């Protein structure tokens, strides 16, 4: 059980990347009061949790409705995660990418860019679907994955609430380095998704 929890925690921590969200949070809330920043942190994590729970709960059903096999989704998702990881490693770091996003008039920064695409990233959405495949994981394992996801989101909330002094310690450069290390780990996880999907595909043919 603990090995499964640890595996899910590491995978979800990498794709959600709570540390990489800190500079984004500080950038978009710099003109808000302390109370408004706290409220924004709670709202951003709450919205992200709803988005990820939606994909965790009905993601596979949507795929089946569209007659897309989860095996194909796993391989495709692994490729997308790998490309996403490469952008984290070789491109602009997550903080640099998302600080450049301009907020449209009237759009709550808790929703965009914090809840999505910073916390509930495309990679995170893909990961929760793959980690809760009904044909491979029972209800218990899916509940473990959901619990691991909520733990990561809780850690994200705590980090956002502590964002001010954390960024003063590591700086934006430090956050960028951490984001690139997360990208390297994510590339490894994505490779596992692809190889596992290919193995199952060839076994079924």
Q: What is the pLDDT of residues 105-135, one digit of tens each?
A: 334 789 988 898 789 987 788 889 888 877 7
Place of tokens 């029972």: 138
Distance CA 128, CA 162 (A): 26
Q: Are 52 and 125 in contact (CB under 8 A)?
A: yes
Render pLDDT for 59-89 as a digit per residue (tens, 0 to 9).
Answer: 878 877 887 776 787 788 788 778 877 876 7
Render pLDDT for 36-59 as a digit per residue (tens, 0 to 9).
Answer: 889 999 999 999 999 999 989 888
Average pLDDT of the segment spanning 154-176 = 83
Could you tell me the residue ranges of all domains in the chain? 2-20+39-100+110-204
């Amino acid at each position: 059980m603990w090995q499964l929890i640890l595996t899910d925690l590491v995978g979800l921590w990498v794709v959600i990347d709570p540390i990489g969200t800190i500079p984004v949070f500080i950038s978009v809330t710099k003109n808000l009061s302390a109370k408004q920043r706290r409220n924004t942190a709670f709202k951003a994590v709450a919205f992200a949790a709803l988005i990820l729970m939606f994909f965790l709960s009905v993601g596979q059903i949507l795929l089946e409705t569209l007659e897309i096999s989860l095996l194909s989704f796993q391989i495709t998702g692994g490729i997308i995660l790998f490309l996403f990881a490469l952008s984290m490693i070789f491109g602009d770091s997550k903080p640099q990418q998302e600080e450049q996003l301009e907020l449209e008039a009237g759009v709550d920064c808790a929703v965009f860019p914090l809840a999505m695409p910073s916390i509930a990233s495309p990679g995170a959405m893909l990961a929760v679907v793959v980690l809760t495949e009904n044909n491979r994981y029972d209800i218990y394992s899916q509940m473990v994955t959901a619990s691991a996801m909520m733990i990561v989101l809780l850690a994200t909330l705590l980090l956002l609430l502590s964002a001010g002094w954390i960024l003063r310690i590591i700086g934006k450069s430090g956050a960028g380095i951490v984001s690139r290390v997360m990208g390297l780990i994510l590339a490894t996880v994505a490779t596992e998704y692809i190889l596992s999907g290919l193995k199952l595909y060839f076994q079924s043919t």
